[in-house]
């Protein structure tokens, strides 16, 4: 019976973005793999709201971009958060997307223009701040920065000519797909090689990432950008046995999760081990990984 299941709330983000799609796929996979669990996705404002919700114990799990995880665990702009990693989600290379007929060819060409940086609470906004800071630019000073209540509203603003570009991140990100699949097509702008070098030198927690060729319609060449891994984070005090079962269900359900959502193919125990330090993992996750031979005892 449903009442016998262990309910686990999962904070995602605003409708129309990548997190709600991902969160539903994760919930469906875990619930199908371990029938004793009932993961329930919940729309939130995104990464920057999920952290305080987790901190306060108002949600059990939350989807959080790497930049916001870095700030939360390091105590940047806030007290350090006592959160733990349940799993690495996927890598999120940041990019600007424009209409294919836009004359802009570089980030410098976007200066002074209206740019949609995403939903107000999205961690992608935080990524944009770090990327631009690394090349000496400021979102508020150098652009007419626009923020959304709903992530899904961004592509229409660019396609209608209300904005010059939309910032986003990830492979298969809905905003990028909507733009690339539009009748006129789309183009992407990222920092050049020197810009990437400067950004990584200033913000070492970021990493160089590649968007493979043909990830999006019309994108025939790989794109070199940078970003970080997003994570499923757990609240302080989440029961160790529950985290163990969640980690086990995700591991056993990796193939099914990838079938449900292409970008979730990156959600593997092996990637979690590579992307997070052992001390960042929830105790239940660490115990399962050790028992499964994924981490040495």
Q: What is the CATH number of the domain that holds 284?
A: 3.40.190.10
Of 200, 228, 256, the last residue of a domain is: 228
Q: How much is the pLDDT for 172?
A: 86
63 in any annotated domain: yes
**Rounded CA gap, 56 and 9, in Å?**
13
Q: How much is the pLDDT for 3?
A: 64
Task: Assess whether 220 and 97 both reside in one domain.
Answer: yes
Task: Assess whether 117 and 203 both reside in one domain.
Answer: yes
Task: Assess whether 183 and 281 both reside in one domain.
Answer: no
Query: What tokens were used for 167?
Result: 């910032």
144 in any annotated domain: yes
296 in any annotated domain: no
Q: Residue 249 in contact with residue 257, Cβ under 8 Å?
A: no
Helix %, strand %, coil % for the chain, to 5? Answer: 40, 25, 35
Task: Assess whether 145 and 62 both reside in one domain.
Answer: no
Task: Assess whether 284 and 257 both reside in one domain.
Answer: yes
Task: Assess whether 22 and 69 both reside in one domain.
Answer: yes
Q: Are strands 207-211 and 186-189 parallel, antiparallel or unpaired?
A: unpaired
Q: How much is the pLDDT for 34?
A: 98
Q: Which domain holds residue 38?
A: 2-90+229-291
Of 181, 205, 228, the last residue of a domain is: 228
Per-residue pLDDT of the chain (297 residues; tens, 9 = 90+): 456 899 999 999 999 889 999 999 999 999 999 999 999 999 999 999 999 999 999 999 999 999 999 999 999 988 999 999 999 999 999 999 999 999 999 999 999 999 999 988 889 999 999 999 999 999 999 999 999 998 889 999 999 999 999 999 988 899 999 999 999 999 999 999 999 999 999 999 999 999 999 999 999 999 999 999 999 999 999 999 999 999 999 999 999 999 999 999 999 999 999 999 999 999 999 999 999 999 987
Task: Assess whether 77 and 193 both reside in one domain.
Answer: no
Task: Assess whether 213 and 245 both reside in one domain.
Answer: no
Q: How much is the pLDDT for 1?
A: 46
297 in any annotated domain: no
What is the pTM for the complete model shown?
0.85
**Total domains in the fold of the chain:** 2
Burial (CB < 10 A; 0-12, 13-18, 19+), residue 155, is buried
Q: How much is the pLDDT for 280?
A: 95
82 in any annotated domain: yes
């Amino acid at each position: 019976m449903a009442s016998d299941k262990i309910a686990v709330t999962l904070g995602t983000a605003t409708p129309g973005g990548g997190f709600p799609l991902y969160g539903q796929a994760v919930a469906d996979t875990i619930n199908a793999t371990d029938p004793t669990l009932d993961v329930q996705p919940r729309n939130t404002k995104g990464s920057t709201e999920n952290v305080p919700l987790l901190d306060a114990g108002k949600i059990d799990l939350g989807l959080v971009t790497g930049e916001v995880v870095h700030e939360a665990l390091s105590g940047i702009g806030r007290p350090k958060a006592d959160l733990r990693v349940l799993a690495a989600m996927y890598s999120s290379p940041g990019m600007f997307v424009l209409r294919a007929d836009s004359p802009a060819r570089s980030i410098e060409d976007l200066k002074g223009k209206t740019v949609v940086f995403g939903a107000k609470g999205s961690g992608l906004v935080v990524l944009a701040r770090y990327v631009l800071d690394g090349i000496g630019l400021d979102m508020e000073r150098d652009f007419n920065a626009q923020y959304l209540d709903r992530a899904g509203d961004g592509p229409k603003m660019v396609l209608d000519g209300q904005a010059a570009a939309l910032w986003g991140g990830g492979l298969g990100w809905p905003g990028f797909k909507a733009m690339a699949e539009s009748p006129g097509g789309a183009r992407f702008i990222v920092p050049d090689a020197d810009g990437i070098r400067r950004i990584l030198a200033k913000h070492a927690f970021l990493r160089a990432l590649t968007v493979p060729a043909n990830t999006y319609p019309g994108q025939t060449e790989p794109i070199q950008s940078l970003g970080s891994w997003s994570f499923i984070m757990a609240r302080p005090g989440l029961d160790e046995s529950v985290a163990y079962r969640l980690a086990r269900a995700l591991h056993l359900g990796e193939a099914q999760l990838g079938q449900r959502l292409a970008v979730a193919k990156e959600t593997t125990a092996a990637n979690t081990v590579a992307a997070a330090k052992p001390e960042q993992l929830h105790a239940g996750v660490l115990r399962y990984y050790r028992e499964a031979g994924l981490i040495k005892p």
